Copies of this chain bind each other. A is one copy, B any other.
């Protein structure tokens, strides 16, 4: 049952591909060549592993959540601790990988898009570490909302470029990064932030994130005499952390659950449930499920977690949904907040709001499973970045209560 996707055209079944202007085709081909060379180069692989280990702190632990497990009375719960990575999320795995690739390809500059700033910070971090110039495209609206992350990128030496097109958010920042890449393709590497975009990006990002899955698998097996977990749960924004952890288990007899942001509830229209509620379409060069109007205009998604706030989803997830290999579920803001609280109280881990979606779903799953089953949650990031949001949320609730 080994997956052989993507095909030579970058397709995962009908999904994926390269729906980009002709002007970028050369760069994508160049990138694919560079990538294939790199991942077949022992030195590159050694450098990458060295940096993941000695700079970012991998392997991240697989933590048994004993109190949470006990509280729920169902399956045993393990947490793959991507929150312990340098800069606080899985994003750095990919940023380091692509930045090293950029260097190997002789590029001097990177550009990146960012929404809330998480990938921007990761990209700026890798750029600083590897001596690359860095420009980060960010919607004007997001810049306003996330001034501290903007400041952080600047501290790291990156230039943050406001994007004023469209809704001035992540999707527009991504459009703009692609546009700018087109005109600077010679010396510039576009460091994309999730398993999205035109081929070969979804493949590249998966490669660099699959360390999550392979580590988790080895760690779990080590703890359980070679057995595999029964289920793996991960949140899905663009889909990079999920595809990364799934990579370790997709060819095994392990149930996989992807969790999208249900926002204020699917029926309200305020959500980012691309797969539950989107239709096939093209976004950022890739054919995938997409939140869009009847006529095909891309819609602005909503989620309390900025990192799940993407109107599309990586094409491999579209394929995994289409083939039913992965079960995709939605979790609302409210459920995610509650799960975040529970994990905090039971295990002393303040996870990212994104990751809290996976936790919330896992709580449901675990309850329905037997105590001799086990599941792994991909804890994609830490919640430091969200404390302000949670605090404001709490204040609001308190004022409603009065």
Query: Interface residues, chain A, CB within 8 Å of chain B?
Result: 53-57, 60-64, 67, 81, 83-86, 88, 124-129, 131, 147-148, 151-152, 155-157, 341, 344-350, 384-385, 387-388, 390-391, 394
Cα(A349)–Cα(B127), bound, Å: 11
Across the A-B interface, the 4 shortest Cβ-Cβ residue pairs: A128-B348, A125-B348, A129-B348, A57-B84
Cα(A148)–Cα(B390), bound, Å: 10
Q: Is the CB of A127 within 8 A of B348?
A: yes
CB distance from A86 to the nearest CB of B (A): 6
Which residues of B are found within 8 Å of A81, using beta-carbon distances?
A: 57, 86
Which residues of B are found within 8 Å of A387, using beta-carbon distances?
A: 148, 151-152
Which residues of B are found within 8 Å of A347, using beta-carbon distances?
A: 128-129
**What are 12 A-B residue pairs whose CB atoms fall within 8 Å in the complex?**
A54-B63, A54-B64, A55-B61, A57-B84, A84-B84, A84-B86, A125-B348, A128-B346, A128-B348, A152-B387, A156-B348, A156-B350
Which residues of B are found within 8 Å of A147, using beta-carbon distances?
A: 391
CB distance from A347 to the nearest CB of B (A): 6
Cα(A350)–Cα(B56), bound, Å: 13
Q: Is the CB of B62 within 8 A of A152?
A: no
- 4 A-B pairs besides A55-B61, A157-B344 with CB distance below 8 A are A57-B81, A124-B348, A147-B391, A155-B390
CB distance from A180 to the nearest CB of B (A): 22
Which residues of B are found within 8 Å of A391, using beta-carbon distances?
A: 147-148, 151
Which residues of B are found within 8 Å of A86, using beta-carbon distances?
A: 81, 83-84, 349
Q: Is the CB of B55 within 8 A of A63?
A: yes
Q: Is the CB of A157 within 8 A of B84?
A: no
